[in-house]
Amino acid sequence: MTGVSLIVGLGNPGAEYENTRHNAGVWFVNDIAQATQTQLKREAKYHGLHGVTKFHDHECHLLIPTTFMNVCGISIQALANYYKISPQSILVAHDEVDLPVGIVRLKFDGGHGGHNGLRDIISHLHTNQFHRLRIGVGRPANGEDTADYVLSPPKKTERTHINQALQQACDVMPLMMTGKFQQAMHALHTIE
């Protein structure tokens, strides 16, 4: 299997959403951009912020759609079509309520699990055959609406755990760039 050549961070645009759980994917791409000193520039033709980074001589596109989450597929489709990147070479980083805070998991294909961003991406790419980095944000307390929960900021301790998990995910990116997905999964999924 070919390595990852496009990493997408899902979230909502605007300062009011910047620190909400739903923007965990954006945090991840920003972390990579910072670690690799890659500047993300607003690109109207991709409806997003775009930059090209390098991991050990492997070039990789970074994309943060500037559309709202539920219509982010248009951004990914535009960039993937322009650079002829196959869905199998795309990694989508997104918040995941089915995982505890501070746990990150890699997954290939599957459904959208009620995640509106994934639903739109599947519809635009006409496939679910892409990689996902599922960033655990935990479940809302009983009775709390899931939408309200993901659109609110995590507690300070939760954000610390999420940041540590994102760092662990950054550490395995060189493996994913070169198509070593099993090794990347093993490294990420066995962290205590």
22 is catalytic: yes
**CA 54 to each of CA 9, 73, 83, 175: distance values in angstroms, whole numbers, following the listed order:** 17, 24, 16, 13
Among residues 22, 61, 94, 124, the one annotated as catalytic is 22
Q: Answer whether 121's CB lies under 8 Å from 130's CB.
A: yes
Q: Which residues pair with 49 in a beta bridge?
A: 42, 64
Q: Answer whether 152's CB lies under 8 Å from 161's CB.
A: no
Q: How far apart are CA 96 and CA 162, in angstroms?
A: 11
Catalytic sites, residue numbers:
22
